[in-house]
Structure 1
């Protein structure tokens, strides 16, 4: 009995060590892969200061946290910060990775995000940052895509101290609001559900044709 207990204790200790050490050992490699793959698909430059992975903070869920994220434009929008966020946290059910019903994300938190959308007089926009794909999907690929559609289950979504700004040079229209906070709760994967929504916007400005209207 004592031997069995000792073996169980050792196994538990090893598993706990793996849970604690693995995210610390992998986060640098994961951060490098995320940056490389994202920038390969974008015409803008994505960067972040730190990536944290934790298997204990929301156990049995895993949490991924990005700090100091920025998406900066290039070429005609060189130096234009399109998106920035002090912190982005995502909590996901680990077991959902092994199923075929979609990833179950229980919580998403955006802390102090800033969004700047800009449309030039000729119609060019700074948020068109996805590189065009050279490959045309065949019928088999389209069928596989339809049969394995990605489904996201989200139950808690929060935005705090957000800043949103939109500028349209072609119509001389501008809109901005800050700080904005939003909390949305509910089973957003269900066909019918009750959602609890709270939205606060302390300051708002709207200009059309160069004339302030709001």
Structure 2
């Protein structure tokens, strides 16, 4: 047998195997793992780990569109807060979401290794009440979860890892009862990359917002165009300290950079902040453009020069205290 014939036969064999594998996967996706069978099972597993609730009209298993990983496509879904939380507005609502994951780890090791979660044009609502409670605190405590699994004998996950989380063109609203301010964001975009170990979680954050409106009453809104965040963070599990290795918040060519740490005390509903900050811009005109015309007659003011400021922030933040 010549080398040429051997190569041709090998290519035919490989092509035949690929076609058979594709056919087998197609049969699995379309006749065995159908949305009608997957949707209730997936929702049951997800809700076992939440005090809130995941609701979804349809969940479909995919492979070819998420190759080389398997994936899930969620249609008409929502994430609801803890039923005991005072504000019961939906936390997340979306028409479509995509998730890709490592199927082998899920089946053999009971681990959820998620490569990417992508939400397209969702509506987001976050709320912080006057006592420091939040509607996004929806995970069950570890001890409660273990008791539930021991008593029911349900499927138990050994680990959950999310490597990338992406939100595109969302409408978001954050209501803070402590400051009495509401933040409404039009065209919110986020790419969050995560690296989890046993000791902590590394975060790479990139964000861009088309418009942010800040107000106490909807009739009097202060609007800011084109803002963004570029940050590298690390959350230590042992002491719940968020290390801010790099953080740059930009708006209108004004950069607010931070470095330091924030320690969280969830049971006390307070945080301890230690940050070194720098505010800079190449032109004072950039600040002037952010002042509402009703407060300042800008036509009569001329500016020149740049600006650099340094700031240290230290202290507790809670209902009764603000850092200095």
Distance of aligned partners of 1:13 and 1:71 in 2 relative to their CA distance in 1, 3 Å threshold: same
Q: 1:31 aligns with which of 39, 45, 65?
A: 39
Say if 2:135 is the partner of 1:129. no
For 1:129-159, what per-residue CA distance to the aligned partner results, in whole angstroms no more than 9, with x for missing partners? Answer: 223344598xxxxxxxxxxx958574x6542
2:118, 2:141 → 1: CA distance?
30
Q: 2:25 aligns with which of 19, 24, 31?
A: 19
2:17, 2:167 → 1: CA distance?
40
2:101, 2:113 → 1: CA distance?
6
Q: Secondary structure at the match of 2:63?
A: strand
Q: Structure 1: 5+ residue runs without aligned partners?
A: 138-148, 190-195
Aligned to 1:86: 95
Aligned to 2:58: 50
Q: Secondary structure at the match of 1:80?
A: coil
Aligned to 1:67: 75
Distance of aligned partners of 1:166 and 1:104 in 2 relative to their CA distance in 1, 3 Å threshold: same
TM-score for both structures, normalised by structure 1: 0.66
Q: 2:214 aligns with which of 198, 201, 206?
A: 206
Distance of aligned partners of 1:202 and 1:87 in 2 relative to their CA distance in 1, 3 Å threshold: same
How far did residue 106 of structure 1 move? 4.8
Q: 1:117 aligns with which of 121, 126, 132?
A: 126
Q: Secondary structure at the match of 1:108?
A: strand
Q: Secondary structure at the match of 2:60?
A: strand
Say if 2:168 is the partner of 1:160. yes
Q: Structure 2: 5+ residue runs without aligned partners?
A: 1-9, 147-157, 197-203, 224-324
2:45, 2:72 → 1: CA distance?
17
How far did residue 90 of structure 1 move? 2.1
Q: Secondary structure at the match of 1:21?
A: helix
1:136, 1:108 → 2: CA distance?
24
Say if 2:181 is the partner of 1:173. yes
Q: Which has the larger radius of gyration?
A: 2
1:79, 1:136 → 2: CA distance?
23
For 1:27-54, what per-residue CA distance to the aligned partner results, in whole angstroms no more than 9, with x for missing partners? Answer: 4333212212322332322101111111
How far did residue 56 of structure 1 move? 2.0
- Structure number with greater CO (CA < 8 Å, separation at least 6) is 1
Contact 1:20 1:56 in 2 (8 A): no
Distance of aligned partners of 1:39 and 1:10 in 2 relative to their CA distance in 1, 3 Å threshold: same
Question: What's the Cα RMSD here?
Answer: 4.5
Contact 1:90 1:108 in 2 (8 A): yes
How far did residue 76 of structure 1 move? 4.1
2:187, 2:46 → 1: CA distance?
28
For 1:148-185, what per-residue CA distance to the aligned partner results, in whole angstroms no more than 9, with x for missing partners? Answer: x958574x654211122111223202212111234578
Q: Secondary structure at the match of 2:141?
A: coil
Aligned to 2:306: none
Q: Secondary structure at the match of 1:203?
A: strand
